[in-house]
Structure 1
Amino acid sequence: MEKLTQISHFIGKTFALWAALCAVVAFVSPELFKWVLPYISFLLGVVMFGMGLTLTPADFKIITRHPKAVVIGVLAQFVIMPLTAYALVHLFDLPPEVAVGVILVGCCPGGTSSNVMTYLARGNVALSVAVTSVSTLLAPVLTPLIFLLLANQILDIDAAAMFVSILKIVLLPIVLGVVAHTLFRKQTEKAVGALPLVSVVAIALIIGAVVGASKGKIMESGLLIFGVVVVHNALGYLLGFLAAKLCRLPYDAQKTLAIEVGMQNSGLGAALAAAHFAVAPVVAVPSALFSVWHNISGSLLASYWAAKADKQ
């Protein structure tokens, strides 16, 4: 089990490499990942169940100790990224399906990999876990609502169906994970070491499925989509950091909120796109590219802040 845990942590730390590898393989041989398409929601549910297994009541104590930081983080998450996405799709005059995909990933909650990046950046890990957890728990309501407000003028949005989808593939698995952790603490704590491996495999398969299904559209406008994703991600980091700074939070919290805002649960974006925009696979492409890129950029940013902390 110890060997498996070591392998799992290595795979988790090198997630960007495996995500990029799956994207390249899927682009070259789309048929290899075609079988994954019907299971995208299930795979994301597995990831969310794993997140639930890691949560305990202690993770939420920071909400009562430092409510200001958590509230700022959650507000920044659901204000900065959606509005930035909305501005970018109009600035670059993106095609409707691509525009909807960019806005969709912008409306998703923070990604769980942000907790790892915060740890590597010497940020406030407890704050990171709290903001990720709270934003994820609020996602069933806020994600479809904000998405409806920003994207309904581009394509018809069924916010009610999206609400039900997020309940099924996000909230329910997390609740089941927390219950399992509470009832079977010893067994689940032994399994936690393998969770990074499970998460990486699940998200990498989702990326492969999305890229493979959208190869034609990627060849047409993939470079433009990637450019928008990079700018969106960078602005998330910058504006998240500035929001925390303007609110006079400590430096470790500023780093934490920069990472929390900049890194999205792009797996959720891909799953929602696959479920609700199956006739236009390109809607899922911004989420797939975001999954690859934000882990690369997050690792680079965390390494910079870690090196800076070591010098100080």
Structure 2
Amino acid sequence: MRLNDHISKFLPLYIALGAVIAYMVPGPFAVFEGSTDFLLGFVIFLAGLSMAMEDLAILKKSFFIISTGLFLKWTLTVALSVVLAVVFFSNLPEIADGLILTGSVPSGTAATLYTFLAGGNASLIVAMGILDVFISPVLTPAIMDFFASGSVVVSFFQLAKKMFFIVILPIVLGMAARHLFQNAIHKITEYRRFASSFTIVFIVVTVVASVSSQMKLGAGLLVGLTIAVFVQVLLPMLAGYKIALLAGIKRESAIAILFEVGLCNSALAAILALEFFGVTAAIPAVINMIINLSLGAYFSNYLGRESELLLKREESS
């Protein structure tokens, strides 16, 4: 348990450190380049082990809340990504495509953990995550087909097929394994978070190592891209949370929407970018991964402390 807490707390640091090491010394890690699809599928399989079909029962009583979260995720986040790409990187098509792709993938696997730590509605984020997984192989290729620069021709069906094997199949297998072997799965619950975190770090290291020799960004462009990605993550988080509250959604459910809207599966975006859009297109995804995990950790800690204070006030009143 202490190891899990340590990994959760310092995951952004380990990702950043791993990325720097892989960039400077890529040789030992580049040999694992062909394993990234399997590794991400494994992370999503582990996420599936924590999901049960019973979680979808919340759909009946929380249809408006879930619809709001999914709508904001696939409109606000995507629209902001497109605007940032067109306004600032229209002369750099691979960067623009990578930025749009990073904002057009399903929510990240860390969203559930951060929602729980922040005192949010964990069942709600799980339900949205399940739906996200099943609709993204349709929406992501459609978005890229419409908004991508056109410098690279990408088949809708090739991209959808890729997402099916990396996203849908692993999560279905994970949910099936949970249903068939519930007692055995329960015994390894405390190890899943560590395995997921370690694998995510390894994916980042592998991706960075495989593209390090071809990453030719000037310092000014790198700083500008980092700022753009920071806005890409932060603004949807804040807007999603505020819009949810203004819509009359309770605070714990608004917290779930915050992480659903703001945390994209940037590991998936990096893998798809490498295969379909080129090496440079993966850079926004790698930067996004570091930033979304860092901001996710900050908001989960901040909102978690706030949740504890609210609970104490309710108990004392």
Question: Bigger CA drift: 206-215 or 233-242?
Answer: 206-215
1:116 Cα deviation from its structure 2 partner: 1.2
1:287 to 285, 307, 310: 285
Post-superposition Cα deviations, 1:161-195, rounded to whole Å, max 9, x if no partner, equal 00000110110111111111111111122222211
| AA matched with 1:245 | L
Instruction: Give, in whole Å, the separation in 2 of the partners of 1:310 and 1:218.
Output: 46
Instruction: Give, in whole Å, the separation in 1 of the partners of 2:200 and 2:109.
Output: 12
Evaluate the alpha carbon distance shift between residue 281 and residue 81 of structure 1 in structure 2; reply closer, same or farther with a 3 A threshold: same
**Aligned with 1:15: secondary structure?**
helix
Instruction: Give, in whole Å, the separation in 2 of the partners of 1:38 and 1:302.
Output: 34
TM-score by length of 2: 0.91
Q: What is aligned with 2:171?
A: 174
2:75 to 62, 73, 79: 79
Whether the 8 Å contact between 1:40 and 1:274 is mirrored in structure 2 is: no
Question: Bigger CA drift: 246-255 or 230-239?
Answer: 246-255
Q: What is aligned with 1:211?
A: 208
State percent identity of aligned pairs: 28
Q: What is aligned with 2:95?
A: 98
**Aligned with 2:295: secondary structure?**
helix
Post-superposition Cα deviations, 1:7-46, rounded to whole Å, max 9, x if no partner, equal 2443234221211111111122122320121111110110
Post-superposition Cα deviations, 1:242-298, rounded to whole Å, max 9, x if no partner, equal 331342211222222112101111111112122323xx2111111111111111111
1:212 Cα deviation from its structure 2 partner: 2.5
Instruction: Give, in whole Å, the separation in 2 of the partners of 1:165 and 1:245.
Output: 36
What are the ranges of 5 or more consecutive residues in structure 2 without an aligned counterpart? 311-317
1:6 Cα deviation from its structure 2 partner: 4.2
**Aligned with 1:123: secondary structure?**
coil
Instruction: Give, in whole Å, the separation in 1 of the partners of 2:26 and 2:113.
Output: 31
Q: What is aligned with 2:315?
A: none
Instruction: Give, in whole Å, the separation in 2 of the partners of 1:34 and 1:62.
Output: 43
What are the ranges of 5 or more consecutive residues in structure 1 without an aligned counterpart? none
1:222 Cα deviation from its structure 2 partner: 2.5
RMSD (Å) for aligned C-alpha atoms: 1.7
Q: Does 1:159 align with 2:156?
A: yes
Q: What is aligned with 1:198?
A: 195
1:68 to 54, 64, 70: 64
1:72 Cα deviation from its structure 2 partner: 0.9
Instruction: Give, in whole Å, the separation in 1 of the partners of 2:291 and 2:46.
Output: 23
Instruction: Give, in whole Å, the separation in 1 of the partners of 2:223 and 2:44.
Output: 30
TM-score by length of 1: 0.92
Evaluate the alpha carbon distance shift between residue 113 and residue 218 of structure 1 in structure 2; reply closer, same or farther with a 3 A threshold: farther
Q: What is aligned with 1:233?
A: 233
Evaluate the alpha carbon distance shift between residue 22 and residue 31 of structure 1 in structure 2; reply closer, same or farther with a 3 A threshold: same
Q: What is aligned with 2:22?
A: 26
Post-superposition Cα deviations, 1:66-90, rounded to whole Å, max 9, x if no partner, equal 1111111111111111111000012
Whether the 8 Å contact between 2:119 and 2:303 is mirrored in structure 1 is: yes
Whether the 8 Å contact between 2:38 and 2:166 is mirrored in structure 1 is: yes
Evaluate the alpha carbon distance shift between residue 58 and residue 271 of structure 1 in structure 2; reply closer, same or farther with a 3 A threshold: same
Instruction: Give, in whole Å, the separation in 1 of the partners of 2:151 and 2:217.
Output: 23
Whether the 8 Å contact between 2:89 and 2:95 is mirrored in structure 1 is: no
Instruction: Give, in whole Å, the separation in 1 of the partners of 2:292 and 2:190.
Output: 23
Q: What is aligned with 2:250?
A: 250
1:58 to 48, 54, 74: 54
| AA matched with 2:270 | A
Whether the 8 Å contact between 1:210 and 1:281 is mirrored in structure 2 is: no
1:120 Cα deviation from its structure 2 partner: 1.6
Instruction: Give, in whole Å, the separation in 2 of the partners of 1:241 and 1:53.
Output: 28
Whether the 8 Å contact between 1:9 and 1:193 is mirrored in structure 2 is: no
Instruction: Give, in whole Å, the separation in 1 of the partners of 2:307 and 2:7.
Output: 25
